Amino acid sequence: MFVRKKLTRNKLLILSFLFALGLTLSMQSTLMNVQAWSGGTHGKIATEAIKSLPSPWQEFFSGYDNFFDNHADDPDDYRSDLEDSSFHRLFSIEWDSHFDDHNLKVFEGTPYDEQDPANAHLIDGKYTSEDLEFVAINVSWDSPTFHKGVIEWRVLNETRDLTQLMTDVALDPTNNTLWKLVFIKMNYLSHYAADSTMPFHATANYDGQLTGQSGAHALFESTMMEQNTLDRVVFSNRPSVYVDSILNHSVYSIETSLANVSVSLEAEAAYDPAVLGGDWIDTVWDAIGDIWGDRVNLAATSTADLWYTCLVDSDLINKVNATFLSSLSVDLSSPPPGWTTKESGNLWYPSFPPTPVVSTTTTTTTEAGDTPGFELVSSLLLLGGLAFFITRKRK
């Protein structure tokens, strides 16, 4: 009788542990399956952005359309690789860099000021180079504020990275490695700038899950945008303009994105794909296609404006002339040192460091959670201990 009870308690403990594991993993899976604009849309946005650049840069970068088309979605694939690795801090930084739950944040109504230490992470009023690999926000990576999304700060970081790289290229215009890095950063900047224009990247209801409409995210960005409707988008290809405030520029994209969430969800509720079948795309596009087309067009013009700003701020636009560019050939057959590629060559991303990164931020930092997978391990230990306590009480 005693042996039978012991086996029962052990089974209960094992089942409780497995339940805790499954629950924790399923919660993480639900969060991590949401994507941004689909890969084809990101590629289209980047290649259309090139058309807004002034000569001779438009002609130069157009010669590498395939690279932009293939690599504009690299940040999403990089995020997936981090999800499968043990670098939990890096994954968190990357994940939260793709959105901003704007409706969860409270602002005073005043515009962002990137020189305000409350917004950007500054030391003595200057942006420090050692912080470039981190999102420029004065909260720790594992804080609730960070997890509401920090895409505007990521756009700011990528813009400053690209400006510095273009400055370096201006001093050494025959350096193929530097040109590779410029191309990479242009794609990364395009990706985050485009994500900020996607309506469901501006709201906590990112998948319609809070209104009983789970799956709305992919329904619009993939089903609608990828199946023939992307060709219906009218790109203005207007000449790129200089951006005075990068952070304000991104916040504008986020705020106008948020304004389009409700009408999109209303359309999802009004038109049932199961009923309309193959007519669903045309029906929804007729109803709100102009809104989504405008968002994709904004993504392209926003990207072009940011690229142009980097060209101007680095003075590369004046230091490299049309004659030089027409004779320049950048070898993009392999990534530069410090970057990794998949066997297919379609994903370039920073090589993973051997140990978790330690943040250089000088403001609020929480040490708990620095170990990769801390939340998962702690949840399992807590729930496993609770299960053990319950089964002991059943003696």
Task: Say which range, 27-36, 112-121, 122-131, 363-372, has the weakest mean pLDDT.
Answer: 363-372
* 339 class by beta-carbon count within 10 Å (0-12 exposed, 13-18 middle, 19+ buried): middle
CA distances from 335 to 19, 71, 183, 339 (A): 43, 12, 10, 6
Average pLDDT, the chain: 76
* Whether pLDDT at 15 is above 70: no
Mean pLDDT of 180-194: 97
Q: How far apart are CA 376 and CA 28, in angstroms?
A: 9
pLDDT at 121: 36
pLDDT at 325: 96
* Whether pLDDT at 222 is above 70: yes
* Whether pLDDT at 16 is above 60: no
Q: Express each pLDDT in 265-303 by its tens digit.
A: 999 999 988 888 889 889 999 999 999 999 999 999 999
pLDDT at 228: 67
Task: Say which range, 113-117, 172-176, 297-301, has the weakest mean pLDDT.
Answer: 113-117
Mean pLDDT of 187-214: 94
Structure confidence at residue 79 as a pLDDT band (50, 70, 90): confident
Mean pLDDT of 122-129: 35
Q: Express each pLDDT in 88-101 by its tens digit.
A: 778 888 898 999 88
SS3 call for 196: coil
pLDDT at 56: 97
308: amino acid identity, one letter: Y
Phi and psi angles of residue 213, each rounded to the nearest 5 degrees, phi first = -125, 40
Which residue reads 């969060």 in tokens? 31
Closest to 94 measured CA to CA, from 85, 106, 103, 102: 85
Q: How far apart are CA 166 and CA 307, in angstroms?
A: 10
Structure confidence at residue 226 as a pLDDT band (50, 70, 90): confident
**CATH, domain 34-364, list 3.90.120.10, 1.10.575.10, 1.10.20.10, 3.40.50.620:** 1.10.575.10
pLDDT at 35: 58
Mean pLDDT of 365-384: 36
> Cβ neighbours of residue 80 under 8 Å, at least 6 residues apart?
none
Cβ atoms within 10 Å of 48's Cβ, excluding its own: 21
Mean pLDDT of 355-384: 36
* Whether pLDDT at 141 is above 80: no
Structure confidence at residue 73 as a pLDDT band (50, 70, 90): very high
Task: Say which range, 78-92, 131-145, 212-226, has the weakest mean pLDDT.
Answer: 131-145
Structure confidence at residue 186 as a pLDDT band (50, 70, 90): very high
* Whether pLDDT at 203 is above 50: yes
Its pTM stands at 0.77
Structure confidence at residue 8 as a pLDDT band (50, 70, 90): low
Extents of the domains making up the chain: 34-364
pLDDT at 109: 44
Q: What percentage of residues in the chain have a pLDDT greater than 90?
A: 46
pLDDT at 206: 93
pLDDT at 9: 52
Q: Are 90 and 356 in contact (CB under 8 A)?
A: yes
- More confidently predicted of 328 and 39: 328
Task: Say which range, 158-172, 186-200, 248-262, 350-364, has the weakest mean pLDDT.
Answer: 350-364
63: amino acid identity, one letter: G
Q: How far apart are CA 29 and CA 47, in angstroms?
A: 32
Q: How far apart are CA 271 and CA 290, in angstroms?
A: 17
pLDDT at 31: 42
